[in-house]
Chain A
Amino acid sequence: MIPTPLPFETDLHEMEHSLARLEAAHGDADELKRVRYELNALKKATYARLSPWDTVLVARHPNRPQTCDYIDTLFDEFVELHGDRAFGDDRAIRTGFARLDGIKVMLVGHQKGKTLAERQQCFYGCAHPEGYRKALSKMKLAAKFRVPVVCLIDTPGAYPGIGAEERGQSQLIATSILEMSQLPTPVVCVVIGEGGSGGALGIGVGDRVSMLQHAYYSVISPEGCAGILWKVADDKTKPRAAEALKLTADHLLRHGVIDDIIPEPLGGAHRQPKEMANTLRAHLVRQLRELADVPVPDLLQRRYEKFRKMGPYLEQ
């Protein structure tokens, strides 16, 4: 399937279509080979020079694999657990037991939705307080039985609404961050698409934090930043904000905020979702195995030091 084109992909999109036409018509073998070769080169060139704003668009691509896609393709089993024990089931965060490569895990992941109906049900991946309550309660369940936790982060941000404030959005995120810093079981976090501010960090405190190559992770959305700095978020200011915020994986790695960048298939995860799932699976298995035998006190000490040293300052 040819994905919906992004603004910087017009040439790429055209060539993908001509290749599809050629394939459908069983065209000349040499011609096919040439077009495939050219398409590959164009993908490489296009994706080698993504601007930070282009990266944000890739991270938000409607065909980009989401938590539920990975549940289907990457995990061998998923036993969803819905209850937050207080208010209701927030569909913007999915939680449950899962298996991969024989390893039992607790999976916690944002879900943005694919169809309009699903998107509305998931509030476009913007969780409410009950979502963070559910996530934390399942992480504690996992810790009780020494099951490691896998968090897949993909949210524009926690939901900004009246109900969310009435039900303590700040309180629930604050509690989740605090408890995750001490959760006595391995925690592996991956930003698979959008890492939107406190809504992302609410399930983002782990022993390992990684990003897919074209994901972004930021203190504020480029739109929000542009609105504050230049009063309007438009086609000029959003790319400027994305640039200023240094929200791409390479910057986060350099600043020590993430441990790894997980490479995406050529042309982005949305072009080869199966290949993406395989890469992510191998990554998770490796990290889970690395952490499996670390005694809990050491694990917690290292997790503490990991976050404790973030952010440079001068001291005389």
Chain B
Amino acid sequence: MTPQGSILRSLTLLLAGVAAVLSILSWLIVSDFARRAVGRAQDNVLAASVTSIAETLRAEMGEVQLELPYSAFSMLGAISEDRVFYRIVAGGRLLTGYDDLPGIAEGDLEIGRVAFATDDYAGETVRLASATRIVAVGGDPVPVTVTVAQTRAGITQVASDLSRRAALISVVFFCIAVLLSAIAARASLRPLSDIAGAVARRGPSDLRPLHRRAPSELSPLIKALDRLILRLAESVRRSEDFIAEAAHRIRTPLTTVRMQSELALREADTDADRERLRRIIRAVDESSRSAGQLLDHATVAFRAEDLVRDPVDLSQLARRCVESIRPTAQMRDIGISLRTDPAPVRGDAVLLDTAVRNVLDNAVKYSPQATDVLIVVGQSEGESFVRVRDEGPGLGTGDFDDLTERFRRGPTAVDHVGSGLGLTITRDVLRAHGGRLVLENCNDEEGNGACVSLILPSG
């Protein structure tokens, strides 16, 4: 399953996008604000300058007199290093200053009020402030207009410095916001990953409901998960029940048939009848065996799906199997010897028991009377093994691995009841555990016979 995008990433990107938009927006606002503020500061100083000059206007000896106060210009120098120009016109005639300095349209001028304009002068943009005052010269009212201009380069510089600083702050804010977004996204997704972790950590057969406290958005998911788990648990239990039930249902009538057949055999009069009944008994045995092996096979397939990995010691497991098969062996005068070293593995004890039992069963079944079966359990090169060798006919010639195919029986199987599933089951169990089955004929000083090894990774 390839993941389709990541909530964490898209959430982080989304939040970062929002942060970027906000950062740019705030930068634009601050820049604009700085420009306005600086512009207003310049206007205020220009107005103060104009006013302070206008205040010195007076009539003296029949002419308009004034004194440019030092502060009128020095205050302009205080806000920025900008060029300063001025013009004072009395009654339409230049009194002092820069004659070609543009003025402010007559209409915009109002007595006693400072008017502003932006214009070009001396190759630069200038901000102009102008005020008109009436001075009475010899009884005649003479309008005197004081205009002070300052270039904008310096204050534009100040504004763009502020804007640059604002940009820097915005970038820092953005970085912090992205960091916080990532943290926030991670924090809000934590319940989800907690649940995923809780589910992942579970053992394969742990089918209890989750019963977790989760944020309200996630509780539908939890509930759905819990329902699914419940259904799964139910269906697993039903399958197990069904297998057990099926085995029981097949075996019980077969047992009855066998018992009746045996009774009939004892009472049979003719050799032909006896022969016929023996065949029935044998067929019943085969059916019974086949049913048992089919069930085991199904169990293996079922349990291997979701393998339990418990610590199991093969030496103890082998000992139990030997004890359970010894009565059968003794009937045919077959001696079983066991040589064990600890051989720990991780796996499903039930399945491993089935595997070992099938191999032992073969050894006892195909060995002639009064022979020995040797079982060696141990560990070598990180692998645990159970080796079963007998003194029987061996596995014959040809490819032994064919014997692990379903329902495949070898040449030695004649006269022996069996289904051909034993080695299949064994191989499937070992594969599910990451191990392997090795089939050999051993021809050495200890004699001939089959030598079957179950090899599993130690654990």
Is B truly associated with A? no
